[in-house]
Homo-oligomer: A and B are copies of this chain.
């Protein structure tokens, strides 16, 4: 799951570990605040496997680093950054290790997104977050598999539900659970519908008459 998150984010931007973690935090809300203790080893591992690579320079965008965006301070900081670059102390090459994704990494990302197993509730939102890397058809397949998975869970629940000894809290809990599942299915239905629309648009409207 961590791999997916890292590859997905690096596919959008070159980033260093610290920044990567921040992005993860507000990516989906997602309750996904990975700790450094797992992030850095993961980065090292991915680099060793050739899926990402350390690119020494340019943190991608002009980093608006501090809230006190007073133009004076900002320009001073920018000036300092250049000076330091000139003198070889440049922030961006020294302490920081900026990573970028490789072609192999991109392939791996698609592979992770295409995994037929959609039962992991934590990972699925991540896969949706980065699913722009899939073809419309594969995206559709992903959503439909997930929908089937959830539908199956609904069915399972309704089967096992009828044991007599349930107190009010248990019942309430089950109702909540059921409602959440139903909402998720409905959400997937909207995703599926819009993906079908995209596919219909891409295909010749007349269709291919065999």
Interface residues of A (CB under 8 A from B): 12, 25-31, 121, 125, 128-129, 131-132, 153, 156-157, 160-161, 163, 165, 167-170, 172-174, 176-177, 179-180, 183-184, 187, 190-191, 194
Contact = CB atoms under 8 A, between A and B. Distances in A.
A169 B132 contact: yes
Given A29-B156, A128-B169, A176-B184, 15 more contacts: A25-B160, A27-B170, A28-B170, A28-B173, A28-B174, A29-B157, A125-B173, A128-B172, A128-B173, A129-B169, A129-B170, A169-B191, A172-B187, A172-B190, A176-B187
Contacts of A153: 29
Given A129-B169, A167-B132, A169-B129, A179 B174 contact: no
A15 to B, nearest CB: 13
Contacts of A191: 169, 172
A187 B175 CA distance: 9
Contacts of A163: 26
Contacts of A165: 12
Contacts of A25: 160
Contacts of A121: 31
A130 to B, nearest CB: 8
Nearest 4 CB-CB pairings of A with B: A26-B160, A176-B187, A29-B157, A29-B177
Contacts of A176: 183-184, 187
13 contacts: A12-B165, A26-B161, A28-B173, A31-B121, A128-B172, A129-B170, A132-B169, A172-B187, A176-B183, A176-B184, A179-B183, A179-B187, A180-B180
A30 B177 contact: yes
B177 A180 contact: no
